[in-house]
Structure 1
Protein backbone atom coordinates (compact mmCIF):
# COMPACT_ATOMS: atom_id res chain seq x y z
CA UNK A 1 0.00 0.00 0.00
CA UNK A 2 1.50 3.36 -1.03
CA UNK A 3 1.32 6.53 1.03
CA UNK A 4 -1.73 7.88 -0.80
CA UNK A 5 -3.64 4.69 -0.12
CA UNK A 6 -2.51 4.75 3.50
CA UNK A 7 -3.74 8.31 3.97
CA UNK A 8 -7.03 7.53 2.29
CA UNK A 9 -7.49 4.55 4.59
CA UNK A 10 -6.86 6.77 7.58
CA UNK A 11 -9.18 9.58 6.56
CA UNK A 12 -12.55 7.90 7.08
CA UNK A 13 -11.82 7.10 10.71
CA UNK A 14 -10.21 10.53 11.20
CA UNK A 15 -13.38 12.10 9.91
CA UNK A 16 -15.67 9.98 12.01
CA UNK A 17 -16.44 12.74 14.47
CA UNK A 18 -15.96 16.48 14.66
CA UNK A 19 -13.58 15.89 17.52
CA UNK A 20 -11.31 13.65 15.43
CA UNK A 21 -11.34 16.12 12.53
CA UNK A 22 -10.35 18.91 14.91
CA UNK A 23 -7.65 16.73 16.46
CA UNK A 24 -6.16 15.92 13.07
CA UNK A 25 -6.14 19.61 12.14
CA UNK A 26 -4.48 20.42 15.46
CA UNK A 27 -1.71 17.90 14.81
CA UNK A 28 -1.12 19.40 11.36
CA UNK A 29 -0.88 22.88 12.89
CA UNK A 30 1.66 21.60 15.40
CA UNK A 31 3.58 19.86 12.65
CA UNK A 32 3.73 23.01 10.54
CA UNK A 33 5.53 24.74 13.38
CA UNK A 34 7.87 21.80 14.00
CA UNK A 35 8.88 21.42 10.36
CA UNK A 36 8.94 25.12 9.49
CA UNK A 37 12.71 25.36 9.97
CA UNK A 38 13.65 21.72 10.61
CA UNK A 39 14.24 19.16 7.88
CA UNK A 40 12.41 15.85 7.64
CA UNK A 41 15.46 13.79 8.58
CA UNK A 42 16.27 15.94 11.61
CA UNK A 43 13.10 14.95 13.51
CA UNK A 44 12.29 11.42 14.62
CA UNK A 45 8.78 10.31 15.52
CA UNK A 46 9.86 10.34 19.16
CA UNK A 47 11.06 13.94 18.77
CA UNK A 48 7.79 14.95 17.12
CA UNK A 49 5.63 13.29 19.76
CA UNK A 50 7.67 14.83 22.57
CA UNK A 51 7.61 18.35 21.15
CA UNK A 52 3.93 18.07 20.23
CA UNK A 53 3.11 16.73 23.73
CA UNK A 54 1.14 13.81 22.31
CA UNK A 55 1.51 10.04 22.28
CA UNK A 56 3.38 8.75 19.25
CA UNK A 57 0.55 6.33 18.59
CA UNK A 58 -1.84 9.22 18.02
CA UNK A 59 0.24 10.44 15.08
CA UNK A 60 0.31 6.94 13.63
CA UNK A 61 -3.46 6.69 14.09
CA UNK A 62 -4.15 9.73 11.94
CA UNK A 63 -1.28 9.64 9.46
CA UNK A 64 0.03 6.03 9.43
CA UNK A 65 3.70 7.05 9.32
CA UNK A 66 6.13 9.92 9.74
CA UNK A 67 6.15 10.44 5.98
CA UNK A 68 2.37 10.48 5.86
CA UNK A 69 2.35 13.12 8.59
CA UNK A 70 4.99 15.19 6.81
CA UNK A 71 3.16 15.09 3.48
CA UNK A 72 -0.12 16.07 5.13
CA UNK A 73 1.65 19.06 6.68
CA UNK A 74 3.18 20.15 3.37
CA UNK A 75 -0.13 19.72 1.54
CA UNK A 76 -1.95 21.76 4.16
CA UNK A 77 0.54 24.62 4.21
CA UNK A 78 0.84 24.76 0.41
CA UNK A 79 -2.95 24.79 0.13
CA UNK A 80 -2.94 28.11 1.98
CA UNK A 81 -0.50 29.55 -0.54
CA UNK A 82 -2.43 28.27 -3.56
CA UNK A 83 -5.77 29.48 -2.17
CA UNK A 84 -4.32 32.92 -1.48
CA UNK A 85 -2.78 33.13 -4.96
CA UNK A 86 -6.12 32.24 -6.57
CA UNK A 87 -8.03 34.90 -4.60
CA UNK A 88 -8.02 38.67 -4.97
CA UNK A 89 -10.02 38.75 -8.19
CA UNK A 90 -11.18 42.26 -7.30
CA UNK A 91 -7.62 43.59 -7.56
CA UNK A 92 -6.08 45.14 -10.64
CA UNK A 93 -4.09 42.49 -12.58
CA UNK A 94 -0.62 43.75 -11.65
CA UNK A 95 -1.65 44.31 -8.03
CA UNK A 96 -2.71 40.70 -7.93
CA UNK A 97 0.62 39.64 -9.43
CA UNK A 98 2.48 41.67 -6.79
CA UNK A 99 0.43 40.08 -4.03
CA UNK A 100 0.96 36.56 -5.38
CA UNK A 101 4.72 37.00 -5.55
CA UNK A 102 4.80 38.57 -2.08
CA UNK A 103 2.77 35.68 -0.60
CA UNK A 104 5.12 33.19 -2.30
CA UNK A 105 8.15 34.86 -0.74
CA UNK A 106 6.47 35.05 2.66
CA UNK A 107 5.68 31.34 2.50
CA UNK A 108 9.30 30.49 1.64
CA UNK A 109 10.60 32.81 4.36
CA UNK A 110 8.40 31.38 7.12
CA UNK A 111 8.37 27.71 6.00
CA UNK A 112 11.95 27.26 4.89
CA UNK A 113 12.32 23.52 5.43
CA UNK A 114 9.00 22.77 3.72
CA UNK A 115 9.84 25.12 0.83
CA UNK A 116 13.21 23.44 0.31
CA UNK A 117 11.54 20.03 0.36
CA UNK A 118 8.94 21.05 -2.21
CA UNK A 119 11.36 22.75 -4.60
CA UNK A 120 14.21 20.26 -4.18
CA UNK A 121 12.09 17.12 -4.27
CA UNK A 122 11.69 16.17 -0.62
CA UNK A 123 12.76 12.82 0.81
CA UNK A 124 14.95 11.34 -1.91
CA UNK A 125 13.01 11.22 -5.17
CA UNK A 126 9.54 11.65 -3.74
CA UNK A 127 6.87 11.54 -6.42
CA UNK A 128 4.22 12.94 -4.11
CA UNK A 129 6.31 15.93 -3.12
CA UNK A 130 7.04 16.49 -6.81
CA UNK A 131 3.30 16.39 -7.44
CA UNK A 132 2.74 19.03 -4.75
CA UNK A 133 5.46 21.19 -6.32
CA UNK A 134 3.94 20.82 -9.77
CA UNK A 135 0.55 21.80 -8.40
CA UNK A 136 2.00 24.98 -6.91
CA UNK A 137 3.72 25.80 -10.20
CA UNK A 138 0.54 25.34 -12.19
CA UNK A 139 -1.49 27.41 -9.72
CA UNK A 140 0.97 30.30 -9.98
CA UNK A 141 1.12 30.06 -13.78
CA UNK A 142 -2.69 30.14 -13.87
CA UNK A 143 -2.77 33.19 -11.58
CA UNK A 144 -0.22 35.00 -13.73
CA UNK A 145 -2.04 34.10 -16.94
CA UNK A 146 -5.38 35.29 -15.54
CA UNK A 147 -3.81 38.56 -14.43
CA UNK A 148 -1.84 39.19 -17.61
CA UNK A 149 -4.12 37.79 -20.30
CA UNK A 150 -7.53 37.53 -18.67
CA UNK A 151 -7.70 33.75 -19.02
CA UNK A 152 -5.92 30.60 -17.91
CA UNK A 153 -6.26 28.54 -21.12
CA UNK A 154 -3.18 30.01 -22.80
CA UNK A 155 -1.10 28.69 -25.69
CA UNK A 156 1.84 26.34 -25.00
CA UNK A 157 4.42 29.03 -25.77
CA UNK A 158 2.89 31.50 -23.31
CA UNK A 159 2.53 28.80 -20.66
CA UNK A 160 6.16 27.72 -21.11
CA UNK A 161 7.35 31.31 -20.83
CA UNK A 162 5.51 31.79 -17.55
CA UNK A 163 6.56 28.36 -16.26
CA UNK A 164 10.21 29.11 -17.06
CA UNK A 165 9.91 32.28 -14.99
CA UNK A 166 8.30 30.37 -12.08
CA UNK A 167 11.10 27.78 -12.14
CA UNK A 168 13.72 30.55 -12.08
CA UNK A 169 11.91 32.11 -9.13
CA UNK A 170 12.17 28.81 -7.24
CA UNK A 171 15.95 28.81 -7.60
CA UNK A 172 16.29 32.49 -6.74
CA UNK A 173 14.05 32.10 -3.70
CA UNK A 174 16.07 29.14 -2.45
CA UNK A 175 19.20 31.29 -2.59
CA UNK A 176 17.37 34.22 -0.97
CA UNK A 177 16.26 32.27 2.09
CA UNK A 178 19.79 30.89 2.47
CA UNK A 179 21.32 34.35 2.06
CA UNK A 180 18.66 36.92 2.92
CA UNK A 181 20.71 39.91 1.86
CA UNK A 182 17.79 41.61 0.13
CA UNK A 183 14.67 42.84 1.94
CA UNK A 184 11.55 40.96 0.88
CA UNK A 185 10.09 44.08 -0.77
CA UNK A 186 13.20 44.49 -2.93
CA UNK A 187 13.19 40.80 -3.83
CA UNK A 188 9.53 41.04 -4.80
CA UNK A 189 10.09 44.06 -7.04
CA UNK A 190 13.05 42.34 -8.70
CA UNK A 191 10.93 39.30 -9.49
CA UNK A 192 8.08 41.47 -10.79
CA UNK A 193 10.46 43.21 -13.18
CA UNK A 194 11.94 39.93 -14.44
CA UNK A 195 8.37 38.72 -14.99
CA UNK A 196 7.85 41.76 -17.19
CA UNK A 197 10.86 40.67 -19.21
CA UNK A 198 9.43 37.16 -19.59
CA UNK A 199 6.09 38.59 -20.76
CA UNK A 200 7.77 40.83 -23.32
CA UNK A 201 9.67 37.80 -24.67
CA UNK A 202 6.37 35.90 -24.95
CA UNK A 203 4.81 38.80 -26.88
CA UNK A 204 7.79 39.01 -29.23
CA UNK A 205 7.39 35.33 -30.15
CA UNK A 206 3.58 35.40 -30.16
CA UNK A 207 2.06 38.87 -30.68
CA UNK A 208 -1.37 37.54 -29.63
CA UNK A 209 -0.13 37.68 -26.02
CA UNK A 210 0.22 41.39 -25.32
CA UNK A 211 2.26 42.44 -22.31
CA UNK A 212 0.17 44.35 -19.75
CA UNK A 213 1.08 48.06 -19.74
CA UNK A 214 2.70 48.16 -16.26
CA UNK A 215 4.87 45.15 -17.12
CA UNK A 216 5.66 46.66 -20.54
CA UNK A 217 6.99 49.80 -18.84
CA UNK A 218 8.81 47.79 -16.14
CA UNK A 219 6.84 49.65 -13.44
Structure 2
Protein backbone atom coordinates (compact mmCIF):
# COMPACT_ATOMS: atom_id res chain seq x y z
CA UNK A 1 0.00 0.00 0.00
CA UNK A 2 1.08 3.53 -0.68
CA UNK A 3 2.15 5.01 2.65
CA UNK A 4 1.62 8.58 1.36
CA UNK A 5 -2.06 7.87 0.76
CA UNK A 6 -2.47 6.41 4.24
CA UNK A 7 -0.77 9.28 6.07
CA UNK A 8 -3.22 11.45 7.92
CA UNK A 9 -3.05 15.09 6.99
CA UNK A 10 -2.67 17.64 9.74
CA UNK A 11 -5.60 20.05 10.09
CA UNK A 12 -3.59 22.80 8.33
CA UNK A 13 -2.61 20.43 5.51
CA UNK A 14 -6.21 19.26 5.08
CA UNK A 15 -7.53 22.84 5.00
CA UNK A 16 -4.84 23.80 2.47
CA UNK A 17 -5.76 20.78 0.35
CA UNK A 18 -9.44 21.73 0.39
CA UNK A 19 -8.64 25.34 -0.51
CA UNK A 20 -6.37 24.25 -3.37
CA UNK A 21 -9.17 22.07 -4.72
CA UNK A 22 -11.61 24.96 -4.33
CA UNK A 23 -9.35 27.34 -6.24
CA UNK A 24 -8.77 24.68 -8.93
CA UNK A 25 -12.55 24.35 -9.27
CA UNK A 26 -12.69 28.00 -10.37
CA UNK A 27 -10.60 27.17 -13.43
CA UNK A 28 -13.63 25.62 -15.11
CA UNK A 29 -16.71 26.70 -13.19
CA UNK A 30 -18.03 29.82 -11.47
CA UNK A 31 -17.79 30.35 -7.74
CA UNK A 32 -21.55 29.97 -7.25
CA UNK A 33 -21.31 26.36 -8.47
CA UNK A 34 -18.86 25.42 -5.72
CA UNK A 35 -20.77 23.57 -3.00
CA UNK A 36 -19.82 21.67 0.13
CA UNK A 37 -20.94 18.47 -1.63
CA UNK A 38 -18.85 19.17 -4.72
CA UNK A 39 -15.71 19.91 -2.73
CA UNK A 40 -16.13 16.90 -0.42
CA UNK A 41 -16.50 14.62 -3.47
CA UNK A 42 -13.40 16.08 -5.13
CA UNK A 43 -11.38 15.71 -1.93
CA UNK A 44 -12.73 12.26 -1.07
CA UNK A 45 -13.78 13.41 2.40
CA UNK A 46 -17.08 13.71 4.20
CA UNK A 47 -19.31 16.74 3.92
CA UNK A 48 -19.00 17.08 7.68
CA UNK A 49 -15.25 17.58 7.40
CA UNK A 50 -15.68 20.38 4.86
CA UNK A 51 -18.30 21.96 7.14
CA UNK A 52 -15.84 21.64 10.02
CA UNK A 53 -13.29 23.80 8.19
CA UNK A 54 -15.58 26.34 6.52
CA UNK A 55 -18.90 26.24 8.36
CA UNK A 56 -21.08 26.88 5.31
CA UNK A 57 -21.06 27.32 1.55
CA UNK A 58 -20.62 31.04 2.17
CA UNK A 59 -17.63 30.40 4.43
CA UNK A 60 -16.13 28.13 1.77
CA UNK A 61 -16.58 30.78 -0.93
CA UNK A 62 -14.98 33.43 1.26
CA UNK A 63 -11.94 31.25 1.98
CA UNK A 64 -11.51 30.19 -1.66
CA UNK A 65 -11.77 33.76 -2.98
CA UNK A 66 -9.29 34.95 -0.33
CA UNK A 67 -6.83 32.20 -1.30
CA UNK A 68 -7.19 32.94 -5.02
CA UNK A 69 -6.70 36.68 -4.47
CA UNK A 70 -3.63 36.07 -2.30
CA UNK A 71 -2.20 33.75 -4.98
CA UNK A 72 -2.51 36.44 -7.64
CA UNK A 73 -0.94 39.06 -5.39
CA UNK A 74 1.93 36.71 -4.54
CA UNK A 75 2.48 35.80 -8.20
CA UNK A 76 2.75 39.48 -9.15
CA UNK A 77 4.64 40.84 -6.13
CA UNK A 78 6.84 43.79 -7.19
CA UNK A 79 10.57 43.17 -7.39
CA UNK A 80 12.10 45.91 -5.28
CA UNK A 81 15.48 45.68 -7.01
CA UNK A 82 14.03 46.94 -10.30
CA UNK A 83 13.71 50.62 -11.17
CA UNK A 84 10.09 51.88 -11.05
CA UNK A 85 9.21 51.54 -14.75
CA UNK A 86 10.84 48.12 -15.05
CA UNK A 87 9.09 47.09 -11.82
CA UNK A 88 5.74 48.22 -13.26
CA UNK A 89 6.34 46.35 -16.52
CA UNK A 90 7.53 43.21 -14.71
CA UNK A 91 4.54 43.21 -12.36
CA UNK A 92 2.12 43.67 -15.26
CA UNK A 93 3.82 40.90 -17.25
CA UNK A 94 3.38 38.51 -14.34
CA UNK A 95 -0.28 39.53 -13.93
CA UNK A 96 -0.90 38.86 -17.63
CA UNK A 97 0.81 35.47 -17.31
CA UNK A 98 -1.21 34.61 -14.19
CA UNK A 99 -4.48 35.53 -15.89
CA UNK A 100 -3.65 33.48 -18.98
CA UNK A 101 -2.59 30.50 -16.86
CA UNK A 102 -5.56 30.75 -14.49
CA UNK A 103 -8.20 32.50 -16.54
CA UNK A 104 -11.16 30.81 -14.86
CA UNK A 105 -9.86 31.73 -11.43
CA UNK A 106 -9.30 35.33 -12.51
CA UNK A 107 -12.76 35.60 -14.04
CA UNK A 108 -14.28 34.26 -10.81
CA UNK A 109 -12.30 36.81 -8.80
CA UNK A 110 -13.33 39.74 -10.97
CA UNK A 111 -16.92 38.59 -11.10
CA UNK A 112 -16.87 37.81 -7.39
CA UNK A 113 -17.64 41.44 -6.75
CA UNK A 114 -21.10 40.70 -8.18
CA UNK A 115 -21.61 38.20 -5.37
CA UNK A 116 -24.28 39.05 -2.84
CA UNK A 117 -21.79 38.28 -0.08
CA UNK A 118 -20.29 41.52 1.27
CA UNK A 119 -17.21 39.64 2.55
CA UNK A 120 -16.45 38.24 -0.93
CA UNK A 121 -16.90 41.73 -2.38
CA UNK A 122 -14.57 43.16 0.27
CA UNK A 123 -11.88 40.55 -0.50
CA UNK A 124 -12.06 41.41 -4.21
CA UNK A 125 -12.00 45.15 -3.47
CA UNK A 126 -9.01 44.75 -1.13
CA UNK A 127 -7.18 42.81 -3.83
CA UNK A 128 -7.85 45.63 -6.31
CA UNK A 129 -6.64 48.18 -3.76
CA UNK A 130 -3.43 46.19 -3.23
CA UNK A 131 -2.76 46.09 -6.99
CA UNK A 132 -3.48 49.82 -7.22
CA UNK A 133 -1.12 50.60 -4.33
CA UNK A 134 1.69 48.78 -6.12
CA UNK A 135 1.20 50.90 -9.22
CA UNK A 136 0.84 54.08 -7.17
CA UNK A 137 4.12 53.26 -5.39
CA UNK A 138 5.93 52.90 -8.73
CA UNK A 139 4.74 56.33 -9.89
CA UNK A 140 5.54 57.95 -6.56
CA UNK A 141 9.06 56.54 -6.94
CA UNK A 142 9.15 58.25 -10.34
CA UNK A 143 8.31 61.58 -8.73
CA UNK A 144 4.54 61.81 -9.22
CA UNK A 145 2.75 63.91 -6.62
CA UNK A 146 0.78 61.84 -4.12
CA UNK A 147 -2.61 63.45 -4.65
CA UNK A 148 -6.14 62.15 -4.14
CA UNK A 149 -6.67 62.38 -7.91
CA UNK A 150 -3.62 60.18 -8.60
CA UNK A 151 -5.07 57.54 -6.29
CA UNK A 152 -8.55 57.76 -7.83
CA UNK A 153 -7.10 57.62 -11.34
CA UNK A 154 -4.93 54.57 -10.72
CA UNK A 155 -7.59 52.71 -8.75
CA UNK A 156 -9.93 53.28 -11.71
CA UNK A 157 -7.16 52.14 -14.04
CA UNK A 158 -7.10 48.76 -12.20
CA UNK A 159 -10.73 48.20 -13.26
CA UNK A 160 -9.72 49.08 -16.82
CA UNK A 161 -6.89 46.52 -16.60
CA UNK A 162 -9.34 43.83 -15.50
CA UNK A 163 -11.54 44.48 -18.51
CA UNK A 164 -8.56 44.46 -20.90
CA UNK A 165 -7.39 41.16 -19.42
CA UNK A 166 -10.83 39.60 -19.75
CA UNK A 167 -11.22 40.73 -23.36
CA UNK A 168 -7.73 39.74 -24.51
CA UNK A 169 -7.75 36.43 -22.65
CA UNK A 170 -11.19 35.29 -23.79
CA UNK A 171 -10.39 35.58 -27.49
CA UNK A 172 -6.60 35.01 -27.36
CA UNK A 173 -6.03 37.52 -30.16
CA UNK A 174 -3.44 39.68 -28.42
CA UNK A 175 0.11 38.64 -27.66
CA UNK A 176 0.95 38.69 -23.92
CA UNK A 177 3.89 41.08 -24.45
CA UNK A 178 1.68 43.41 -26.49
CA UNK A 179 -0.93 43.44 -23.72
CA UNK A 180 1.73 44.10 -21.09
CA UNK A 181 3.22 47.01 -23.04
CA UNK A 182 -0.23 48.48 -23.66
CA UNK A 183 -1.14 48.30 -19.97
CA UNK A 184 2.15 49.92 -18.94
CA UNK A 185 1.67 52.74 -21.47
CA UNK A 186 -1.93 53.24 -20.39
CA UNK A 187 -0.86 53.66 -16.75
CA UNK A 188 1.75 56.20 -17.81
CA UNK A 189 -0.89 57.98 -19.89
CA UNK A 190 -3.26 58.20 -16.93
CA UNK A 191 -0.55 59.74 -14.76
CA UNK A 192 0.58 62.10 -17.54
CA UNK A 193 -3.01 63.32 -17.96
CA UNK A 194 -3.02 64.43 -14.33
CA UNK A 195 -0.08 66.76 -14.96
CA UNK A 196 -1.48 68.35 -18.13
CA UNK A 197 -2.92 71.87 -17.80
CA UNK A 198 -6.65 72.29 -18.38
TM-score bin (small chain): 0.7 to 0.9
Q: How far off its partner does 1:81 sit?
A: 2.5
Inter-CA distance 121–25: structure 2 relative to 1 (3 Å threshold): closer
Inter-CA distance 153–110: structure 2 relative to 1 (3 Å threshold): farther
More deviation, 171-180/154-163: 171-180
Measure, in 2, the Cα distance between the counterparts of 1:129 and 1:153: 33
Is the Cα contact below 8 Å between 2:61 and 2:120 reproduced in 1?
no
In structure 2, what is the equivalent of residue 4 of structure 1?
none
Measure, in 1, the Cα distance between the counterparts of 2:169 and 2:61: 21
Is the Cα contact below 8 Å between 1:117 and 1:123 reproduced in 2?
no
In structure 2, what is the equivalent of residue 185 of structure 1?
177
SS of the residue corresponding to residue 133 of structure 2 reads helix
Is the Cα contact below 8 Å between 1:85 and 1:143 reproduced in 2?
no
SS of the residue corresponding to residue 71 of structure 2 reads helix
State yes or no: 1:139 paired with 2:122: no
Equivalences, count: 189
Is the Cα contact below 8 Å between 1:117 and 1:129 reproduced in 2?
no
Measure, in 1, the Cα distance between the counterparts of 2:35 and 2:72: 27
Where structure 1 has 5 or more consecutive residues not aligned to the other structure, the ranges are: 1-17, 207-219
Q: How far off its partner does 1:152 sit?
A: 10
SS of the residue corresponding to residue 196 of structure 2 reads helix
What is the root-mean-square deviation of aligned Cα atoms in Å?
Answer: 2.5
- Report which structure shows greater RCO (CA 8 Å, sep ≥6): 2
Inter-CA distance 44–85: structure 2 relative to 1 (3 Å threshold): closer
State yes or no: 1:35 paired with 2:33: no
State yes or no: 1:115 paired with 2:106: yes
Measure, in 1, the Cα distance between the counterparts of 2:77 and 2:197: 27
Inter-CA distance 193–123: structure 2 relative to 1 (3 Å threshold): closer
Q: How far off its partner does 1:190 sit?
A: 1.3
More deviation, 178-187/81-90: 81-90
The structure 2 residue matched to 1:26, chosen from 13, 17, 20, is: 17
Where structure 2 has 5 or more consecutive residues not aligned to the other structure, the ranges are: 1-8
In structure 1, what is the equivalent of residue 4 of structure 2?
none
Measure, in 2, the Cα distance between the counterparts of 1:89 and 1:202: 26
Alignment of 1:45-124 (within 5 A): 45-122=36-113, 124=115
